[in-house]
Amino acid sequence: MSGNTVPPVANPPAELPPVPLGRAPLFERIVTLTVIVVPLLGLVAAPFFLWGWGFSWTDMGLLIGMYLLTALGVTVGFHRLFTHRSFETHTWVKFAFAVMGSMAVQGSLLRWVALHRRHHQHSDTPDDPHTPHHSGGGVRGVLRGAWHAHFGWFFDGTPPGLDDYVKDLAKSRALRVADALWPLWILLGLLLPGLIGGLVEGSWRGVWTGLIWGGLVRVLLVHHVTWSVNSACHLWGWRPYRSEDESRNNVIFGILALGEGWHNAHHAFPTSARHGLRWWQIDVSYYLIRAMSWVGLAWNVRLPSDAAMEKAARDRVESEGTGPK
């Protein structure tokens, strides 16, 4: 394990001038709206279409299991492995994480990584794809900014030069294939819980409740929990470390987002495989990476040194003249 010595963005493109993005094409906006609304409708419709069927232990297991599977695909795979290269692993493990992350219905692997690397290069500046800031002052400005950071930015046009952010990943044939097949992985993520539910329950009831709870409702929860890292964790929480943005540690999403909510720590040490840097900061994503390292499935796991953490904490106090807040 080594200190945090690698730049936060792998092979970033040259600095680009601000470009007004405008709105995405109409078809893309319709698809995006559908992806956001359909899981919500699934949750709303469940009590009506499943009345009298109840909520079984199978449904609970599928909801929790699929949540962990797909959320870890995003947090460990898309984010810590592919975006920040905070550890290394075998190609087949990378492919598996690419599939798991794609099941979360947050877009293709390469586009997700490119946008997130751009976010780190321009964090909380006007060129940041999903900053909650720069939306005006007062309560209205905060609300507009939170809305934009949470999912409003999905309806914006594509930033220029995204392909330049993922040249390293595009060299891998396995990752290119996983990226190209992302609609298939989305379908698999919806059908799999339905199939398991039907087999366990031995009925069509199990198929439908598995599809709703392990599929649609799970997508809804993963969406809004992970999106809250972009919105809530750049607005509310405390900043124990110096970073060049408004990232915050937020205990609620530190837990719900499997460690991603310790967001100030992440922005201070972007290539760290561990975001919850204190013993009491629950970081399920790091626990998985650490377990993988014990069985030879992860190596070159990057962690900040104690000296680096102490310096970042001192720098924050010196820059703001206050204790943690």
Q: What is the pLDDT of residue 156?
A: 87
Nearest CA to 289 out of 5, 1, 64 is that of 1
**% helix / strand / coil in the chain, to the nearest 5?**
60, 5, 35
Q: Is 135 exposed, middle or buried (0-12, 13-18, 19+ CB in 10 A)?
A: middle
Does the CA dihedral 298-302-306-312 come out positive or negative? Answer: negative
Q: What is the pLDDT of residue 160?
A: 86
φ and ψ at residue 176, rounded to 5 degrees: -65, -40
Q: What is the pLDDT of residue 246?
A: 95
Contact criterion met (CB below 8 Å) for 100 and 70:
yes
Query: What's the predicted TM-score (pTM) here?
Result: 0.88
Q: What is the pLDDT of residue 11?
A: 44
Q: Which residues contact 7 (CB under 8 A, 6 or more apart)?
A: 271
Considering only CA atoms, give the Rg of the chain: 20
DSSP, res 106: S
Q: What is the pLDDT of residue 323?
A: 46
Nearest CA to 270 out of 244, 251, 238, 290 is that of 244
The structure tokens listed for 177 are 């294939």
Nearest CA to 170 out of 118, 64, 232, 98 is that of 98
Other Cβ atoms less than 10 A from the Cβ of 188: the count is 14
pLDDT tens, residue order, the chain (325 aa): 444 433 444 445 444 444 445 665 665 657 656 766 777 676 666 666 565 566 889 999 999 999 999 999 999 999 999 999 999 999 999 999 999 999 999 999 999 999 999 999 999 999 999 999 988 888 888 899 999 999 889 888 888 899 999 999 999 999 999 999 999 999 999 999 999 999 999 999 899 999 999 999 999 999 999 999 999 999 999 999 999 999 999 999 999 999 999 999 999 999 999 999 999 999 999 999 999 999 999 999 999 999 999 999 999 998 876 544 4
Q: What is the pLDDT of residue 158?
A: 85
Question: Given the structure tokens 């561990």, which residue do they identify?
Answer: 274
Nearest CA to 161 out of 322, 17, 59 is that of 17
The structure tokens listed for 140 are 């209205």
Distance from the first to the final alpha carbon of the chain: 30
